[in-house]
Structure 1
Amino acid sequence: MILPQRLQKGDTVGIIAPAGPPNQKQLKQSYSFFQELGLHVKLGKFTQSVYGYLAGTDEQRLIDFHEMVRDSTVKAIFFARGGYGTGRLIPNIDFQLIRNNPKIMWGYSDITYLHTAIRQQTGLVTFHGPMAASDVGDPTFDALSAQSFQQLFTPVKLHYTEAISPLHTYVSGKATGRLVGGNLSLLVGTLGTPYEIETKGNILLIEDIGEVPYQVDAMLNQLLLAGKLQEVAGIVVGDFAHSEGGKGPTLSLQDVFSHYFSTLSCPVMAGFRIGHCFPHFAIPLGTEAMLDTTKKELKICAGVQ
């Protein structure tokens, strides 16, 4: 495990778009937030590029990523938005470059593919947190989500309790392990590839948006058939925004979760405001965590040094 160096006021941070094209107005609105944190913003060369549903060609997005990693003046990389496209870059990413230049990387959703590949190829701890354009630049961006960025300046153990949101236990118990995961559909997309999500002995986070119950059912079934759910130490269920409904007869999302989690021997707890939601509780991925469904709490070790 490699912990990136903490941020200091006066540091320069980079913003790039490795997936979909960001809303340029919201991207610009995010600058003031980073400036209020005492940071200088450096924008990737191709952050304004558009290539269909991608923020520029694969080559352009890869150039931006590698240049930000290589630039010694850039102390953290914040991603502008998710969407789709990060997985297309993975085969050509220079993981040795990342090992030689470990730094904070922060985002979620489609960035899950990047989180997973980087952690498993390099050991670097990365961060699942609100993104520059789609979240920070949103007029409804809230105080708790903003507060989550402070963990980048001071190493601190995070503590999630019902003081933040109601939590629901599917399987009782207590577990420790490295916290991994992210967006469910992206995790399923890694199966059968060299970057397949490693769950054995880990605490698995899942979240998603816009996936109705039968789609969530299909993805959990695929993880189960791949042996991934049976190996985990515990499961943290984050936010599943806009995931209810659909045409015709349906099960509830809770029905689906109960079906897949009730037979597991590890603790499973849901209700965490982690994902496509406000507040969005940002967390490091790859550090040690402790899930206790009796006390209804999740503790996560610091993600920076």
Structure 2
Amino acid sequence: MINPKPLFPGARVALIAPSGPVPPERLEPAVRSVEKLGLVPVVYESCRSAHGYLAGEDQLRADDLNHAFADRSIDGILCIRGGYGAQRILKKLDFSCIRKHPKFFSGYSDVTTLHIALNQLCGFITYHTPMPSTELYDGADEYTMKSLKRVMFGDSAGTLENPGSMEPEVLVPGCACGRLTGGNLSLVASSLGTPFEIDTRGKILFLEDVDEEPYRIDRMLTQLLLAGKLNDCAGLMFGYWTRIEAEQPDRSLTLLQIFRELIVPQGRPALMNLACGHSLPSMSLPMGKKLKMDASAKKISILR
């Protein structure tokens, strides 16, 4: 896997919206938040466009991403927000061109689709991070910003640690080593059966989600299980499960019950309650990077 050059003070970064539209009132503060990082934001058309629940039509969003990678004056690419729509542009992306111009690329949530595609088809590391018009525009906590700057400016070796107030929990003890893949469970599950299907073989699978009922989490994990993805992986990391609430709690399983019934029997080392996903504080993750996870010791190391 290629490790793209890190960003640096004064780096020109493309702001793109490959999925949902940016709320107009958030664009200016999102741009300022990038400037506060010492970067020079270049706002692409998708950040100012809307087509229903999309940030412009598919071709426009795909063109923004293609052009940002092809433009040699652009040092990195920040997805300004998630939403829905990244899957719709996959077949419009010029992966042969993108492969020739690996760059720092970041985002999360719906951007999971692009992390998987860029890691697997273009062979370079990408970064699962908070986004300018989702978290950064309103100011983020010290832990979140320190973790973001760490991956952004090239200091991504060492350990992945929760903030002091949050303790990871052991779901399945043991050790695992492999490249990191995954992201938002809904997007991981919806990749199955497509040319862009996630490959978990020998990898550490990270999962998180937001605004789903427990039975839907069960359904998507079961889909991964039946597709062999949970058996293929070397280990699992679970982040935030934000607003995962049952409409009828007395007729639902809890998340922990679901994990114990679907994940534990697979025998893969697994950690949960990691500070990453649709809540703050949130760590930034190097997707495609090789990790060593000692679930028993609640320790995750990034390998060079």
Compute the TM-score of the two structures, normalised by the length of structure 2.
0.96
Q: 1:258 aligns with which of 246, 257, 260?
A: 260
| Letter in structure 1 aligned against 2:262 | Y
Going from structure 1 to structure 2, the CA distance change for 1:9 and 1:162 (only over 3 Å counts) comes to closer
Deviation of the 1:154 alpha carbon: 2.8
CA 1:161–1:10: 2 relative to 1, 3 Å: closer
Aligned counterpart, 1:57: 57
2:266 match: secondary structure: coil
Aligned equivalent of 1:135 = 135
Distance in 1 of aligned mates of 2:120 and 2:235: 19
> Once the two structures are superposed, what CA deviation does each residue of 1:68-121 show, in whole Å capped at 9, x if it has no partner?
111111111001111100000001110111111110110000000111111111
3-state SS of the aligned residue for 2:20?
coil
Counterpart in the other structure of 1:201: 202
CA distance in 2 between partners of 1:161 and 1:144 (Å)? 10
**Shift of residue 25 of structure 1?**
2.2
Residue number in structure 2 paired with 1:113: 113
Alignment partners' CA distance in 2, 1:158 and 1:212:
35
Q: CA deviation at 1:281?
A: 0.4
Q: Check conservation: 1:161, 1:296, Cα contact below 8 A.
A: no
- 8 Å Cα contact 1:128/1:282 also seen in 2: yes
Q: How does 1:110-189 map to 2 (within 5 A)?
A: 110-139=110-139, 141-150=140-149, 151-161=151-161, 163-164=163-164, 165-189=166-190
The one-letter amino acid paired with 1:58 is: D
Name the SS of the counterpart of 1:119 in structure 2. Answer: helix
Contact 1:17/1:79 (8 A) holds in 2: yes
- 1:20-67 CA-partner distances (Å, limit 9, x unpaired): 001222231122222222211100023111100000000111111111
Q: Do structure 1's residue 285 and structure 2's residue 284 form an aligned pair? A: no
Give how far 1:163 is off. Answer: 4.8
Q: Is the 8 A contact 2:35 2:41 kept in 1?
A: yes
Q: Secondary structure at the match of 1:99?
A: helix
- Structure 1 equivalent of residue 275 of structure 2: 273
Deviation at 1:162, TM superposition (A): 5.2
Looking at structure 2, the residues matched to 178 and 103 of structure 1 have their Cα atoms a distance apart, in angstroms, of 19
- Which residue is 2:296 aligned to? 294
| Secondary structure at 1:290 match in 2 | strand
Identity over aligned residues, as a percent? 37
Question: What is the CA–CA distance in structure 2 between the aligned matches of 1:54 and 1:173, rounded to whole Å?
Answer: 42
Matched residues in 1 for 2:255 and 2:77: separation? 34
Q: In 2 relative to 1, CA 162–125 (structure 1 residues): closer, same or farther, beyond 3 Å?
A: closer
1:93-104 counterparts in 2 under 5 A? 93-104=93-104
Structure-2 residue corresponding to 1:227: 228
Whole-angstrom CA distance in 2 between matches of 1:50 and 1:105: 22
Give the superposition deviation at 1:301.
3.5
C-alpha offsets along residues 220-254 of structure 1, whole Å, 9 cap, x if unaligned?
00000001101110000011100022236111111
- Unpaired runs of 5+ residues, structure 2, are none
Q: For 2:46 and 2:234, how far apart are their aligned partners in 1? A: 40
Preserved CA contact (<8 Å) 1:51 1:57: yes
TM-score, normalised via structure 1 length: 0.95
Q: Distance in 2 between matches of 1:162 and 1:81?
A: 23
Contact 1:127 1:282 in 2 (8 A): yes
In the alignment, the residues of structure 2 paired with residue 207 and residue 7 of structure 1 have an alpha-carbon distance, to the nearest angstrom, of 27
| Rounded Cα–Cα distance in structure 1 between residues aligned with 2:288 and 2:181 | 6
Taking the aligned partners of 1:277 and 1:252, their CA distance within structure 2 comes to: 20
CA deviations over 1:272-304 (Å, ceiling 9, x no partner): 0111010110111001001111211111246xx
What is the count of residue pairs matched by the alignment? 301
Distance 1:32 1:161, change over 3 A: same
**RMSD between superposed Cα atoms in Å:** 1.3
Greater shift in the superposed pair: 28-37 or 209-218: 28-37
